[in-house]
């Protein structure tokens, strides 16, 4: 038995108080709460997202009450304790009871990915902690309670700790202070209390270590013992070098094939490459020179006994073809000798510490079944399995073995057969696994286990020095029943987006070593393997946003990072946000070509990462709306939550959320999501908007905001007009209005611009009217034949006429959809919007569903308003 980890850690043996209970040491605390967790497991298993694993494995992986590898039953207790701490902090002047955020973060967020924390452990997606730190400094104050329900590796938690530990990094604090100075805001140094939640077992495990206290000296001490133990087996990574020894850096393995012409065996490398730097267009058999496309090659299979399961398996074959090794700090390459091949076939695997686990069901996890790769251990060489088993055996009795599991999971991706070798890339021939897939390459690399461990150990040691304790819970974002209502001060999330990444499938190989797997029933993704399409993804995201809305305090803010080029997924996210009651205040797009924020209109314009900012409306506003049905109370509060100006490259940019079109959309969402009738049409709304508020540059402000906007614009006179990506009739109306606002124009003036900007960008199935029809329905023409923007009274009259025309078109759609095989291949989306709105007012939900089911699916999923009405109607039918 090995000795316990961290016995020299002085804090371990000091009395500590956790949730009102005092313990003599951290070990005593851990033992007590693990026993309590064991008692609570039967009840916790009823929650969505409870992981797949044995009770003891879940308990052993946990470090309660701070981290549980299952839903954390102590979250409300911790929240209550933190609220009491807030009161003490206010007495000490460390925070203010009057703290309030009235508008979204007003500037671009930029941060690099070269910090030690970012590089200590890889994951599919990760937001640099300095980004989360900036948001936390802006939206919260010391002691505030933050949650991230799609936490991944816990960078929001790290950001919460960094709000205090940033004083250790002068460069970072200088950079953030400089950013905040541009909008005249001080940063309040002090830790934020962050709850990191994720469905994934390996992500939660990583998040736990990033959000734990760290004793560097103890970690160094026990790492040296672990390394000494593994070096007993270093001969397995040695080669002969001129009567001396060399250390293997990596070994390249090539897949074997059978020639379709002469039936002789050959390896892929010799058939595919003329030389290391030259790849043949077709593979060439080295025996008969027959050429063949790679896709038509015949893999060589051999039957063998699986060393872990003991079963006979039929697998594709690989053989070692090249060894890269070092001697006296110089690198050499050689072809493997007979002894080298013998050393690669390890005989020291301890099967007790290798999971006998088949891969879970899924598209990625089953993609290699045809090659005989069905179990986790199939993706490692026998030599690597030997080292991993010895590693795990040695750390079993460590009190804090999670830190060493963290080191292991950090190097596991570098140890699989998924690591590609592509010699045509020269010095960068080791290109790693193909992103977001379990692709098994024809040439793979087996890395030196000890070298990888040592390399990653140095990164981790440096990274964890600036981390500290936060809270982690492994559970589904769709079920936060272990958190009470109105308890969270701020939310930051970077959720999964559609079919971008199959997290649970890609994590399966790593999670098998933790012996706790993700329960992916509630995993919010699109996946054929899980039978989840866009509608299932939509429902899961609505449930997740609904839980966040419930637990957030009124007036609290939420920031959502969005990374998907699909307009349908963009609308699903917007629909989910709106449907549960949030109000969007700002959408920022990081335009990489221009290097800053760039407001856009139109869902198809989603071509880059976005930051969506929204808020939970005040209790007072919701009560007033129910009581008075006063739309202007909503608009006033919403305008007070919007940025007054945005600065970019010494210019002032337009704010799309202050445009009448978006203001009306937000109004409709607010009413519809609360099952209230929309008490005003677009024409009257715009008329009322102009009567009650101040218009500047196509945007609306309160009187005080308009004065501030004009002052800022005088300081920064360059104004960047709103960029409109036209992908729908509504976009086209707004685009025309934007042009005609500047000066009246004839159809001849407008037509070439129309053909360039509008005609080529429409969504499939959306029947855009002719430009003349749109002009006639929305604008007026003077005696000189020039079209111009009507005044408020005429605009209201035009709106009534247009609505009657749209409803007539919708009636035709209703009739066609009611036929047994009626299908609407092309529709006018504005007619659907008008019809769906009227059906909603009439509580005719059946018609909305009937017509919605018969229109092109992409139109329904890509239009925020249609999807919103359809989702509500489905729930009412």
Strands 600-601 and 723-724: parallel
Q: Is 495 helix (H, G, I), strand (E, B) or coil?
A: coil
Short-list 824, 745, 825, CA closest to 787? 745
Mean pLDDT (whole number) for 798-819: 91
Checking if the pLDDT of 184 tops 60, the result is yes
Checking if the pLDDT of 28 tops 50, the result is yes
Cα Rg, the chain, nearest whole Å: 31
Confidence grade of residue 595 (pLDDT, cut at 50, 70, 90): very low
Q: Cβ neighbours of residue 78 under 8 Å, at least 6 residues apart?
A: 19, 65, 193, 195, 471
Q: Cβ neighbours of residue 428 under 8 Å, at least 6 residues apart?
A: none
The per-type count for the chain, helices as H runs and strands as E runs, is: 30, 37
Confidence grade of residue 1 (pLDDT, cut at 50, 70, 90): very low
> What's the chain's average pLDDT?
88
* pLDDT tens readout for residues 293-302: 999 999 999 9
Q: pLDDT at position 761, please?
A: 57
Q: pLDDT at position 420, please?
A: 96
Q: Is 346 helix (H, G, I), strand (E, B) or coil?
A: coil
Confidence grade of residue 813 (pLDDT, cut at 50, 70, 90): very high
Short-list 129, 47, 24, CA closest to 483? 47
Q: pLDDT at position 791, please?
A: 83
Give the lowest-confidence range in 538-547, 598-607, 867-876.
598-607
Q: Any idea what DSSP says for residue 762?
A: P
Give the lowest-confidence range in 106-115, 188-197, 200-209, 847-856.
106-115
> What is d(CA 749, CA 728) in angstroms, rounded to the nearest whole number?
21
Q: pLDDT at position 576, please?
A: 86
Residue 40 burial by CB count (10 A; 0-12/13-18/19+): exposed, middle or buried?
Answer: middle
Category of 318 on φ-ψ map: left (φ > 0), alpha (ψ -120 to 50) or beta: beta
Confidence grade of residue 598 (pLDDT, cut at 50, 70, 90): very low
Strands 651-653 and 646-648: antiparallel
pTM equals 0.86
> What is d(CA 857, CA 571) in angstroms, rounded to the nearest whole number?
13
Element (H, E) at 590: strand 583-591
Q: pLDDT at position 769, please?
A: 86
* pLDDT tens readout for residues 100-157: 998 888 776 665 566 788 888 888 887 888 889 999 999 999 999 999 999 999 999 9
DSSP 296-317: G-EE-EEEEE-TTT--EEEEE-
Give the lowest-confidence range in 219-223, 290-294, 666-670.
666-670
> What is d(CA 298, CA 255) in angstroms, rounded to the nearest whole number?
11
Residue predicted with more confidence, 762 or 69:
69
8 Å CB contact between 810 and 844: no
Mean pLDDT (whole number) for 848-859: 90
Highest mean pLDDT among 542-546, 686-690, 794-798 belongs to 542-546
Short-list 555, 282, 510, CA closest to 411? 510
Q: Cβ neighbours of residue 84 under 8 Å, at least 6 residues apart?
A: none
Checking if the pLDDT of 722 tops 60, the result is no
Dihedral sign, Cα of residue 481, residue 582, residue 490, residue 68? positive
Short-list 500, 638, 655, 504, CA closest to 562? 500
> What is d(CA 530, CA 506) in angstroms, rounded to the nearest whole number?
14
> What is d(CA 682, CA 685) in angstroms, rounded to the nearest whole number?
5
Q: Where are the alpha helices (DSSP H) in 629-702?
A: 631-639, 660-672, 682-692
Q: pLDDT at position 686, please?
A: 82
Which residues are registered as beta bridge partners of 334? 323
Q: Cβ neighbours of residue 56 under 8 Å, at least 6 residues apart?
A: none
> What is d(CA 239, CA 248) in angstroms, rounded to the nearest whole number?
7
- The number of beta carbons lying within 10 Å of the beta carbon of residue 815 is 10
> What is d(CA 580, CA 572) in angstroms, rounded to the nearest whole number?
12
Structure tokens at 834: 């008008």
CB crowding 112-131: b at 16 or more within 10 Å, else e: eeebebbbbbbbbbbbbbbb
Checking if the pLDDT of 679 tops 90, the result is no
Q: pLDDT at position 564, please?
A: 61
Residue predicted with more confidence, 24 or 657:
24
> What is d(CA 182, CA 715) in angstroms, rounded to the nearest whole number?
13
8 Å CB contact between 848 and 562: no
Mean pLDDT (whole number) for 327-334: 93
Confidence grade of residue 604 (pLDDT, cut at 50, 70, 90): very low
> What is d(CA 428, CA 122) in angstroms, rounded to the nearest whole number?
19
Give the lowest-confidence range in 162-176, 473-487, 603-617.
603-617
Give the lowest-confidence range in 278-292, 599-613, 853-867.
599-613
- The number of beta carbons lying within 10 Å of the beta carbon of residue 644 is 23
8 Å CB contact between 496 and 523: yes
Q: pLDDT at position 466, please?
A: 80
Q: pLDDT at position 648, please?
A: 59
Determine the length of the chain. 877
Dihedral sign, Cα of residue 792, residue 797, residue 802, residue 807? positive
Residue predicted with more confidence, 316 or 668:
316
Query: What are the φ and ψ backbone dihedral angles of 628, each rounded to 5 degrees?
Result: -105, -15
Structure tokens at 635: 């608009």
Query: What are the φ and ψ backbone dihedral angles of 635, each rounded to 5 degrees?
Result: -60, -40
CB crowding 739-766: b at 16 or more within 10 Å, else e: bbeeebbeeeebeeebeebbeebbbebb
Residue predicted with more confidence, 43 or 686:
43
Q: pLDDT at position 571, please?
A: 76
Checking if the pLDDT of 277 tops 50, the result is yes
8 Å CB contact between 806 and 828: yes
Which residues are registered as beta bridge partners of 195? 147, 471
**Omega of the bond leading into 65 within 30 degrees of 0 (cis):** yes
Q: pLDDT at position 758, please?
A: 66
Category of 518 on φ-ψ map: left (φ > 0), alpha (ψ -120 to 50) or beta: beta
Mean pLDDT (whole number) for 828-833: 92
- The number of beta carbons lying within 10 Å of the beta carbon of residue 319 is 15
Q: pLDDT at position 651, please?
A: 61
Give CA separation, 716 vs 109, 215, 647, 793, in Å: 20, 50, 8, 35
Mean pLDDT (whole number) for 733-762: 80
Give the lowest-confidence range in 163-177, 405-419, 534-548.
163-177
């Amino acid at each position: 038995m090995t000795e316990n980890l961290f016995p020299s850690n002085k804090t371990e043996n000091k009395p500590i108080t956790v949730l009102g209970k005092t313990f003599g040491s951290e070990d005593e605390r851990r033992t007590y709460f693990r026993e309590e967790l064991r008692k609570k497991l039967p009840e916790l298993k009823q929650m969505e997202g409870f992981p797949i694993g044995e009770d003891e494995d879940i308990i052993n992986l946990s470090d309660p009450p701070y981290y549980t590898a299952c839903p954390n039953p102590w979250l409300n207790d911790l929240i209550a304790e933190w609220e009491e701490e807030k009161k003490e902090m206010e007495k000490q002047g460390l925070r203010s009871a009057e703290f309030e955020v009235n508008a979204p973060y007003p500037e671009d967020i930029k941060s690099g990915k070269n910090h030690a924390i970012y590089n200590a452990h890889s994951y599919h997606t990760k937001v640099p902690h300095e980004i989360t730190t900036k948001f936390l400094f802006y939206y919260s104050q010391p002691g505030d309670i933050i949650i991230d329900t799609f936490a991944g590796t816990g960078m929001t938690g790290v950001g919460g700790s960094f709000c205090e530990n940033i004083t250790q990094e002068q460069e970072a604090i200088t950079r953030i202070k400089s950013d905040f100075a541009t909008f005249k805001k001080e940063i309040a140094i002090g830790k934020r209390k962050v709850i990191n939640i994720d469905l994934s077992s390996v992500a939660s495990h990583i998040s736990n270590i990033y959000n734990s206290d760290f004793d560097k000296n103890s970690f160094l001490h026990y790492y040296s013992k672990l390394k000494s133990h593994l070096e007993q087996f270093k001969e397995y990574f040695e080669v002969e070098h001129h009567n001396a020894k060399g250390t293997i850096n990596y070994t390249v393995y090539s897949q074997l094939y059978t020639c379709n012409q002469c039936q002789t065996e050959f390896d892929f490398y010799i058939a595919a490459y003329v030389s290391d730097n030259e790849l043949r267009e077709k593979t060439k058999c080295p025996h008969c020179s027959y050429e063949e496309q790679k896709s038509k090659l015949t893999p060589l299979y051999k039957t063998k006994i699986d060393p872990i399961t003991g079963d006979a398996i039929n697998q594709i074959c690989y053989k070692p073809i090249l060894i890269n090794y070092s001697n006296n700090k110089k690198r050499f390459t050689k072809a493997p000798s007979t002894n080298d091949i013998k050393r690669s076939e390890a005989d020291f695997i301890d099967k007790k510490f290798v999971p006998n686990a088949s891969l879970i069901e899924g598209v990625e996890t089953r993609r290699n079944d045809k090659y005989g790769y069905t179990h986790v251990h199939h993706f490692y060489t026998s030599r690597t399995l030997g080292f991993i088993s010895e590693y795990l055996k040695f750390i079993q009795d460590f009190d804090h073995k999670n830190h060493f599991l963290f080191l292991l999971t950090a190097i596991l991706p570098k140890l699989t057969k998924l690591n590609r070798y592509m010699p045509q890339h020269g010095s960068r021939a080791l290109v790693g696994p193909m992103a977001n897939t379990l692709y098994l390459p024809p040439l793979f690399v087996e890395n030196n286990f000890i070298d990888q461990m040592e390399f990653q150990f140095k990164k981790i040691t440096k990274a964890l020095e600036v981390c500290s304790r936060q809270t982690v819970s492994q559970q589904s974002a769709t079920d936060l029943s272990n958190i009470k209502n109105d308890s969270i001060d701020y939310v930051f999330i970077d959720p999964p987006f559609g079919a971008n990444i199959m997290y649970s499938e890609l994590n399966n190989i790593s999670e098998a070593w933790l012996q706790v797997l993700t329960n992916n029933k509630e995993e919010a993704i699109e996946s054929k393997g899980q039978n989840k399409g866009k509608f299932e993804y939509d429902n899961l995201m609505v449930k997740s946003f609904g839980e966040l809305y419930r637990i957030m305090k009124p007036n609290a803010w939420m920031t959502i990072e969005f990374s998907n080029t699909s307009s349908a997924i963009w609308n699903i996210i917007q629909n989910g946000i709106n449907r549960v009651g949030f109000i969007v205040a700002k959408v920022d797009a990081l335009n990489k070509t221009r290097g800053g924020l760039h407001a856009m209109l139109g869902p198809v314009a989603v071509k880059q990462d976005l930051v969506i900012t929204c808020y939970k409306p005040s209790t007072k506003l919701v009560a007033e709306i129910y009581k008075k049905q006063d739309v202007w109370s909503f608009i006033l509060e919403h305008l007070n939550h919007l940025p007054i100006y945005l600065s970019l490259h010494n210019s002032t940019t337009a704010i799309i959320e202050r445009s009448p079109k978006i203001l009306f959309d937000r109004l409709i969402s607010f009413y519809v999501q609360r099952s209230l009738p929309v008490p005003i049409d677009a024409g009257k709304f715009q008329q009322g908007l102009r009567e009650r508020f101040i218009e500047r540059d196509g945007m609306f402000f309160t009187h005080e905001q308009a004065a501030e906007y004009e002052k800022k614009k005088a300081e920064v006179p360059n104004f960047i007009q709103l960029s409109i990506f036209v992908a729908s009739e509504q976009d086209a109306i707004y685009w025309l209005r934007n042009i005609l606002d500047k000066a009246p124009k004839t159809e001849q003036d407008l037509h070439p611009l129309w053909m360039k900007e509008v005609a080529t960008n429409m969504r499939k199935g959306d029947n855009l009217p002719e430009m003349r029809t749109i002009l006639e329905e929305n604008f007026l023409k003077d005696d000189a034949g020039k079209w111009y923007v009507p005044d408020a009274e005429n605009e209201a009259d035009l709106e009534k006429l247009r609505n009657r025309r749209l409803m007539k078109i919708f009636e035709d759609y209703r009739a066609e959809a009611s036929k047994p095989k009626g299908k609407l291949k092309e529709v006018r989306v504005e007619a659907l919007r008008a019809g769906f709105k009227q059906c909603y007012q009439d509580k005719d939900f059946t018609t909305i569903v009937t017509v919605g089911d018969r229109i092109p699916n992409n139109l329904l999923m890509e239009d925020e308003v249609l999807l919103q009405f359809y989702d509500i109607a489905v729930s009412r039918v």
